[in-house]
Structure 1
Amino acid sequence: MKKLLALFWVAFFGVATLFAQGMSDAQVIEYVKNAQAAGKSQKEMTTELLRRGVTQEQALRIKKQYEKSNSVTEGTENVPTQLRKRSGIEIQQSYEAAEIQDQKTVIDVEKDTEDRDYVASNKIFGHDLFRRQNLSFEPSVNLATPENYRLGPGDEVIIDIWGASENTIRQQISPEGNIQVSGIGPVHLNGMTIKEANSYLQGEFAKIYAGISGEQPTSQIKLTLGDIRTIQINIMGEVAVPGTYRLSAFSTVFHALYRAGGVNNIGSLRSIRVVRAGKTIADLDVYQLIMSGKMTDDIRLQEGDFIMVKPYEALVQIEGKVKRPMFYEMKPTETVATILEYAGGFTGDAYKKAVRLIRKTGREHQVFNVDEMDYSVFRLEDGDMITTDAVLDRFENKVEVRGAIYRPGLYQLNNEVSTVKELIKKAEGLRGDAFLNRALLDREREDLSHEVIAIDLQGLLNGTFADVPLQRNDILYISSISDLKQEETVSIHGEVASPGIFRYSDNMTIEDLVVQAGGLREAAATTMVSITRRIKNPRSTEFSSELSKVYTFDIKDGLVVGGEGFNLQPYDEVYIRKSPAYKRQQNVVISGEVLFDGTYALLKKNERISDVISRAGGVTPDAYVKGARLLRRMTEEERRRQADAIRMARSSEGKDSISIEKLNISDVYTVGIRLDLALANPGSDYDVVMKEGDMLYVPEYINTVKISGAVMYPNTVSYKQGANLKYYINQAGGYGNMAKKRKAYVVYMNGTVSRLKSNNRKAIEPGCEIIVPSKEVKKRMSTAEILGLGTTTASLAAVVASMVNLFK
């Protein structure tokens, strides 16, 4: 990560950041990571970061975050969490101080441990047992006081007396091992178990309480533990952090090992000795806990105990087809069978008859092939590596049948299935479409080459063809009649509910195909139903220019007239054409200043605007006929032409072509009309023919003119009859600095556009819009931006210097 961020700083701070478009901090780091993996150069990375808008402020923020996280994690990144997390049992201040000191020691030691040693230790079975947070082996403080617990200095005892006499005494055992009882004096409890202490106190308290002793005592006495003392134990040998630890008096060997961070990469889990008063009182085997769940050896520790962890004796690796391939620590008497048990046994695809063992003899390597019968007697040595292989990718007794049979698949080659006829019987026989003249038997030879044996199934079933014995890996192919010929279909086109391709069936008629296609549509013509048929003559030896044959029939009441006995043949195509007399309604919409606005259906082809206006009752007195607008939807042909225009514009990018942005790509467009001339001259060229979906809007009179574009103050003013262009430009404050004065144009209410000239007084009409286009200007960098660039470069140089010091 440090190298990655260093590369980022070098790449980024090489140039100044100017244009901010926005990238999150996480996106910046992710981009640098991916770009480095892709092999991009620093120059390419820098250019891309600048283009995406990474700023100097953002880079400084990422730098500060990195410095902060680096200072927090430095010195602890190699320390396992379980070595930093401590027991939750509340103890005295001295114990807490020792805990902090232990943690510092752990950090110092783990910083000096190489990463490869830590990774190697994780591969050894059981070594991570004492490194897990969820398995701390901490003693439970909620258990009843065990009777075999031995009291010692620092333990708090609670003595309850009830019955004829009642009293409670709560005292801590002194360093001399005593408690002070009023009326008795010092009572020595050190080294006694809870059971022994209760018996001893019964006799002592009988001196001052008469009802405690006797055959029928009237008072009872019981000792229990309050606060538990801490004990000091020593952990030596091959552990992560050897030393002296203060633990709860309930602690066991496993809890102590957890506190010490577990064994190191050479420590033994098979022989952990507990030494008490110079004598070994226990020799623990952690594998017994892991494999059998036995914790009988996990004894409770006492003050001054030593835990000794020696190096392992033999470390053996097992890999391949076992359930837990890894390193295992083995005892000198353990064998291959033992390590297979530790590894969870073989996987399902393992070769179990033998394993391969590589042994280092001190001079060179030796290989042993250990057979299954020797697993329990072949002993292992340090450095052995066992490999378990997979089973061979082949079958011992497999035959297969495929094709036109009821149960295709794999079958066992045995006494019941040993011939082709028996295999067919086992697969429940042939299907009705099976091709009986020839079946193929694919056979694998000893040299793994293949041969094909042809079988006459018809003769085999009749007994006239000798049955063929099967061999291992034989594959029997039984073809279907339909597989040996092209799939036969028929097609139907035109005015049916679901035109398309359908499977051919014998004796299929035109009526059958029409029914399968969902029946005739309303627009279908019942005359001129055509059928085209392929020309095919497999025995022909001459060229023919004839492509197909055509048959024509009529349909009446769903039946073909004149086609009695006419059946379809494979690949026939049926055409149901549209009736020439079928016409559906075509609607137009008229709105605005007409007497009856709304939707109207066209009564005939080529019906014109004046006809529809007449049917709508004519225009109202308030109508501004000259400003009427006609909106029209694109037809399919117009959409195709538009797509061609867009494609040409894109292919000519950078050349002398029309910009795509200037193309009108809407489905609805305006048709410039002159409704006043159309109504005055019905049937003329001004009287536009209406089309389906047209929307005609007749507005009321508007006496304003809008001026927009490159003017000083775009404005809307009252229309003044006879006023020229200069008058209206003055109403907008005059031309702007970048105005194209000679390119001004006017857009009329009816959708037409006209070029304006200053002396043309009739070109401006009520409701129109005067537009003055502006010149295109290349953007230049301002003086402030140029000065800012120099300032940014200087500040970035300082950041680069700090980065160099950071990554040294």
Structure 2
Amino acid sequence: MQALQSEQGNRIDVSQYMQKGGYGYPVNRSYSVPGHLDRSQVQAYGANLFLSNFEAQRSDGINPDYKIAPGDKISIWLWGAVNFAEVLTVDNQGNIFIPDIGPVRVIDLPAGNLNQTVTERIKSVYVSNVNVYVNLLVATPVSVFVSGPVQRPGKYAGLTSDSALYYLQRAGGIDSERGSYRHISLIRDGVEVASYDLYEFLRTGRLDSVPFKDNDVLLVGQQGPVVTVEGAARYPFKFELDKDVSFGSELNFYARPLSKASHVGIFGDRDTGPISVYLPLAEFDDFQVEDGDRVLFNDDLRADVISIRVSGSYLGPSFYAVKRDTRLLDLLDYIQVDENQANVTSVYIKRRSVAEAQKRMIEESLQRLERSVFTAPASSTGEAGIRAEEAKLVASFVQRAREIEPLGKVVISSGNNIANVRLEEGDEIVIPMKSDLVNIAGEVLLPQAVVHNQEANISDYIAWAGGFTERADPERIAVVHANGLTTFMEIGDGRSWYSSSVQERIKPGDEVIVLPRVDTKVLQAVKDITQIIYQIAVAANVALKD
């Protein structure tokens, strides 16, 4: 009956798939976007730059790229026709003076080229029989002041070749709530000689290298306008704008929307009042964003093609890409099967949304069970002890029940009739194999598969599996049919849900699951546990012991 009447279930509320009001929402018209984050919870872009303790990992050796500066100490050895050994200091003009040679300019010379440059100059005077060795002994330290919104403003020692990042790290990094990552100035004698934009460094790896001098000031500017990015972006952070008003193209450059992003929602305040705008991603490049705006990148295009998987007994490909409005029978015409092996009258579907709904219903039942057991009052000490033991048993049952993963079966076939249901993204069409066996599992002594006997009923199959265990409940026997449908039978005094003629309808490929009995002497919440066991048997085709 479910299969024959399932056409009624094809009716859906199409309003949830339609965009209301088109792309451009007018100013002051608000709409809700689920799942947005609090602005204070979003990390600032570039904040991770100062998490590593790289100033503690610095080597005491001199970098070959270090540029010679006034005050550096250089040792020179000459031997052979001339003997000379002296430590010379680079003067304020950037030279060292070698007797009988004269001044040699070395300022801004990389330390790795020092030996070659000085040797060439000496060899120009002493042409032969003179050996030369030149070495930079001590690089002149400098003191740099770090000021502005940093964690620990102050004076820090370093080398002239150290980068601005080194001194910022020594100061604890930039305060992400007050400081600017885009406006950092190097001030020397009251004049700005260099500026740094750490966004440029993070995005392209480029950072101006300006040699520091003693008493330089590295000033971090105040934080500029900030825009928060959420949703389908590779960098969902708070971004500082370079100007008071910037275009969406600049934000796209740093936030890098995912390829699936199709629309952008912008929420903020303007002089005319709050705004709420929703527009295609291509139009966002020319949209002006301002301080305090929240930008949500969204994948709001519904694909015209969905993917369907096929499993079980089939020939050909296991995945199909079909149009969104495709129905089951339209696709079955293209799936090849071997009629001698495939049970084409028992096709069913595994659907993700159904599995989620089954999981949700089981979880709701478990929560009700916990509330009823854990909050039950006790009128005496003895009853309190019984309640405590019951709570332990229920907690163990709930823990195992929550580990069950429903299959999400959709029953679509009955006899030779198959419901022509609409397919959904991720559906799995299961075509069972023809089988001569009947599986018996659950609370039986010898769970096994036996050959189908047309004359046998459910009692015979259970007997062939060794009979019931002590925990079995003969009045709760689930039969999972090949088409995915689960029915319940009972073995009693004849007053059963099914007559003897119906009980004989166990077919090849069916699975008999004997469910456990809930002891009414131990547990008070028998009804709730029984309901959950039924739900799990239908959703996952397993018998969960209580």
TM-score w.r.t. length of structure 2: 0.50
Is it true that 1:424 corresponds to 2:332 in the alignment? Answer: yes
Partner of residue 657, structure 1:
none
Is it true that 1:160 corresponds to 2:80 in the alignment? Answer: no
What is the DSSP-based 3-state SS (H/G/I as helix, E as strand, rest coil) of the residue aligned with 1:423?
Answer: helix
| Contact persistence 2:80–2:129 (CA under 8 A) | yes
Matched to 2:49, the amino acid is L
CA distance in 2 between counterparts of 1:268 and 1:413 reads 51
Q: Which string of whole-angstrom CA distances, capped at 9 and with x for unpartnered residues, describes residues 382-411 of structure 1? A: 21111123557x774448698986269874
Within the candidate set 40, 53, 58, 1:133 is matched to: 53
CA distance in 2 between counterparts of 1:245 and 1:337 reads 39
Partner of residue 77, structure 1:
none
Partner of residue 385, structure 1:
294
What is the DSSP-based 3-state SS (H/G/I as helix, E as strand, rest coil) of the residue aligned with 1:413?
Answer: strand
More strand by proportion, 1 or 2? 2
| Contact persistence 1:424–1:430 (CA under 8 A) | no
Radius of gyration: which is bigger? 1
Instruction: Classify 1:242/1:480 alpha carbon distance in 2 versus 1 (closer, same or farther; 3 Å).
Output: closer
Instruction: Classify 1:369/1:168 alpha carbon distance in 2 versus 1 (closer, same or farther; 3 Å).
Output: same
Partner of residue 229, structure 1:
140
What is the DSSP-based 3-state SS (H/G/I as helix, E as strand, rest coil) of the residue aligned with 1:429?
Answer: coil
Partner of residue 484, structure 2:
none
Shift of 1:169: 0.9
Is it true that 1:169 corresponds to 2:69 in the alignment? Answer: no
CA distance in 2 between counterparts of 1:481 and 1:303 reads 83
CA distance in 1 between counterparts of 2:252 and 2:286 reads 13
Partner of residue 255, structure 2:
343
Aligned pairs (5 A) from 1:542-561: none
| Contact persistence 1:177–1:190 (CA under 8 A) | yes
Matched to 2:289, the amino acid is L
Instruction: Classify 1:240/1:406 alpha carbon distance in 2 versus 1 (closer, same or farther; 3 Å).
Output: same
| Contact persistence 2:308–2:322 (CA under 8 A) | no
Shift of 1:435: 7.3
| Contact persistence 1:212–1:221 (CA under 8 A) | no
Instruction: Classify 1:217/1:377 alpha carbon distance in 2 versus 1 (closer, same or farther; 3 Å).
Output: farther
Aligned pairs (5 A) from 1:750-769: none
Shift of 1:342: 2.8
Partner of residue 85, structure 1:
none
CA distance in 1 between counterparts of 2:327 and 2:93 reads 95
Partner of residue 322, structure 2:
413
Aligned pairs (5 A) from 1:275-424: 275-295=187-207, 297-332=208-243, 335-346=247-258, 352-362=261-271, 364-390=273-299, 396-398=304-306, 406=314, 411-413=320-322, 423-424=331-332
CA distance in 2 between counterparts of 1:247 and 1:478 reads 69
Count of residue pairs brought into register by the alignment: 359
Gaps of 5+ in 2: 1-38, 351-410, 466-493, 496-503, 507-520, 522-546
CA distance in 1 between counterparts of 2:314 and 2:144 reads 77
Instruction: Classify 1:247/1:121 alpha carbon distance in 2 versus 1 (closer, same or farther; 3 Å).
Output: farther
What is the DSSP-based 3-state SS (H/G/I as helix, E as strand, rest coil) of the residue aligned with 2:162?
Answer: coil
CA distance in 2 between counterparts of 1:499 and 1:268 reads 72
Q: Which string of whole-angstrom CA distances, capped at 9 and with x for unpartnered residues, describes residues 80-139 of structure 1? A: xxxxxxxxxxxxxxxxxxxxxxxxxxxxxxxxxxxxxxx969921113322421466847
| Contact persistence 1:161–1:222 (CA under 8 A) | yes
Instruction: Classify 1:338/1:137 alpha carbon distance in 2 versus 1 (closer, same or farther; 3 Å).
Output: farther
Shift of 1:429: 3.1
Instruction: Classify 1:486/1:391 alpha carbon distance in 2 versus 1 (closer, same or farther; 3 Å).
Output: farther
Instruction: Classify 1:254/1:398 alpha carbon distance in 2 versus 1 (closer, same or farther; 3 Å).
Output: closer
Shift of 1:309: 1.6
| Contact persistence 2:438–2:452 (CA under 8 A) | no
What is the DSSP-based 3-state SS (H/G/I as helix, E as strand, rest coil) of the residue aligned with 2:138?
Answer: coil
Shift of 1:320: 2.1
| Contact persistence 1:439–1:456 (CA under 8 A) | no
What is the DSSP-based 3-state SS (H/G/I as helix, E as strand, rest coil) of the residue aligned with 2:50?
Answer: helix
Instruction: Classify 1:480/1:229 alpha carbon distance in 2 versus 1 (closer, same or farther; 3 Å).
Output: closer
Compare relative contact order (CA 8 Å, sep 6+) and give the higher one, 1 or 2. 2
Q: Which string of whole-angstrom CA distances, capped at 9 and with x for unpartnered residues, describes residues 139-171 of structure 1? A: 76243364xx24313x21212324422322124
CA distance in 2 between counterparts of 1:276 and 1:234 reads 11
Q: Which string of whole-angstrom CA distances, capped at 9 and with x for unpartnered residues, describes residues 696-724 of structure 1? A: xxxxxxxxxxxxxxxxxxxxxxxxxxxxx
Is it true that 1:151 corresponds to 2:69 in the alignment? Answer: yes
CA distance in 2 between counterparts of 1:200 and 1:261 reads 39
Instruction: Classify 1:128/1:470 alpha carbon distance in 2 versus 1 (closer, same or farther; 3 Å).
Output: closer
Q: Which string of whole-angstrom CA distances, capped at 9 and with x for unpartnered residues, describes residues 169-204 of structure 1? A: 1244578989787789x979796747999899789x
What is the DSSP-based 3-state SS (H/G/I as helix, E as strand, rest coil) of the residue aligned with 2:282?
Answer: helix
Shift of 1:457: 6.3
Partner of residue 68, structure 1:
none
Matched to 1:151, the amino acid is A
| Contact persistence 1:202–1:221 (CA under 8 A) | yes
Within the candidate set 163, 166, 169, 1:255 is matched to: 166
Instruction: Classify 1:247/1:283 alpha carbon distance in 2 versus 1 (closer, same or farther; 3 Å).
Output: same
Instruction: Classify 1:222/1:361 alpha carbon distance in 2 versus 1 (closer, same or farther; 3 Å).
Output: farther
Shift of 1:453: 10
Partner of residue 503, structure 1:
450
- Give the percent of matched residue pairs that are identical in Structure 1 and Structure 2: 16
Is it true that 1:245 corresponds to 2:245 in the alignment? Answer: no
Gaps of 5+ in 1: 1-118, 443-451, 461-467, 519-542, 545-568, 572-646, 648-808
Q: Which string of whole-angstrom CA distances, capped at 9 and with x for unpartnered residues, describes residues 241-280 of structure 1? A: 3333332233222211111222223211112222334443
What is the DSSP-based 3-state SS (H/G/I as helix, E as strand, rest coil) of the residue aligned with 2:47?
Answer: coil
| Contact persistence 2:310–2:428 (CA under 8 A) | yes
Instruction: Classify 1:500/1:172 alpha carbon distance in 2 versus 1 (closer, same or farther; 3 Å).
Output: closer
Within the candidate set 125, 143, 152, 1:213 is matched to: 125
CA distance in 2 between counterparts of 1:236 and 1:380 reads 30
Matched to 1:152, the amino acid is P
Shift of 1:220: 5.5
Instruction: Classify 1:198/1:366 alpha carbon distance in 2 versus 1 (closer, same or farther; 3 Å).
Output: same
| Contact persistence 1:397–1:472 (CA under 8 A) | no
Instruction: Classify 1:232/1:197 alpha carbon distance in 2 versus 1 (closer, same or farther; 3 Å).
Output: same
CA distance in 1 between counterparts of 2:119 and 2:349 reads 96
Q: Which string of whole-angstrom CA distances, capped at 9 and with x for unpartnered residues, describes residues 213-266 of structure 1? A: 17x454355643211221122323232233333322332222111112222232
Matched to 2:337, the amino acid is G
CA distance in 1 between counterparts of 2:336 and 2:318 reads 12
Q: Which string of whole-angstrom CA distances, capped at 9 and with x for unpartnered residues, describes residues 568-607 of structure 1? A: x999xxxxxxxxxxxxxxxxxxxxxxxxxxxxxxxxxxxx
What is the DSSP-based 3-state SS (H/G/I as helix, E as strand, rest coil) of the residue aligned with 1:308?
Answer: strand
Instruction: Classify 1:433/1:253 alpha carbon distance in 2 versus 1 (closer, same or farther; 3 Å).
Output: closer
Instruction: Classify 1:164/1:410 alpha carbon distance in 2 versus 1 (closer, same or farther; 3 Å).
Output: same
